Amino acid sequence: MKKIEAIIKPFKLDDVKQALSDIGLQGMTITEVKGYGRQKGHKEIYRGAEYLVDFIPKIKIEIAVAADRVDEVLETIQKSANTGKIGDGKIFVMSLEQIIRVRTGETGLEAI
């Protein structure tokens, strides 16, 4: 089992959600986050004063999947979140030791 975390631009969330739904993915967790990478933020002007916005609003998607579906999910996220511009985001893949569904006590793949 693997956990996939994707950091994407907020306006791409609906595209990614629809694409993942189209391949039969059943669930995900979404969090509004802020951060920066190579993008390094941007400058804005407010009431005539210029200031640097260090942290850019992003969306973090967390998904637990069976190991054999990882490549399919990664490709789906990458294609649907891509704008071709800086700041499109990153995808991280981590191993999951165990998953337990709280309501039923199911474990492992059945809990996904």
Domain ranges of the chain: 2-111
Q: Which two tokens stand for residue 12?
A: 């791409």
Indicate the pTM of the whole model: 0.86
The residue ranges of the chain whose pLDDT is under 50 are none
Per-residue pLDDT at 42: 63
User: 82-106: per-residue pLDDT in tens?
Assistant: 999 888 999 999 999 999 999 999 9
Which H or E run includes 74? helix 70-81
Per-residue pLDDT at 30: 98
Per-residue pLDDT at 44: 66
Per-residue pLDDT at 43: 66
Per-residue pLDDT at 104: 95
If 0-12 CB within 10 Å is exposed, 13-18 middle and 19+ buried, where does residue 23 land? Answer: exposed
Class at the top of the CATH hierarchy for domain 2-111: alpha beta
Among 68, 69, 67, smallest CA distance to 95 is for 67
Within a 13 Å sphere around the CA of 109, how many CA atoms are in the beta-carbon half? Answer: 5
Helix (H, G, I), strand (E, B) or coil at 105: coil
Per-residue pLDDT at 49: 77
